[in-house]
Amino acid sequence: MENIIRVSVSEAARLFGVSSKTIRQAIKDQKLKYIVVSGRYKINFSSLLSWSQNSSRRRNLLKNQGLGQYVDKWEIKNKKYSPDIRLAAKNKQLPK
């Protein structure tokens, strides 16, 4: 069984740099997959990510006001999760 990540409307708004109203409008327009738990929307994170990438404006909001603004500041210390530059270069040369 697949582990599905779900977030609330307010969490989604903060993560993606948009307003709660924008998230609720996307739910109303059936652009996001969600379930209702105790009267509150729980949005499927993968559908939220796909939705955010369908618009250049939302993509820029994610990058500049949402979670993306912190990416350059992340310092991954664990080599297991840190990309190896040699592997990345090698993978680029492989045919897909």
CB atoms within 10 A of CB 68: 17
At 60, list the tokens. 């820029």
User: Mind listing the pLDDT tens digit for each residue in 31-67?
Assistant: 999 999 999 999 999 999 889 888 888 878 877 887 7
Domain ranges of the chain: 6-93
- Is 90 exceeded by the pLDDT of residue 93? no
Cβ 12 vs Cβ 43: under 8 Å: yes
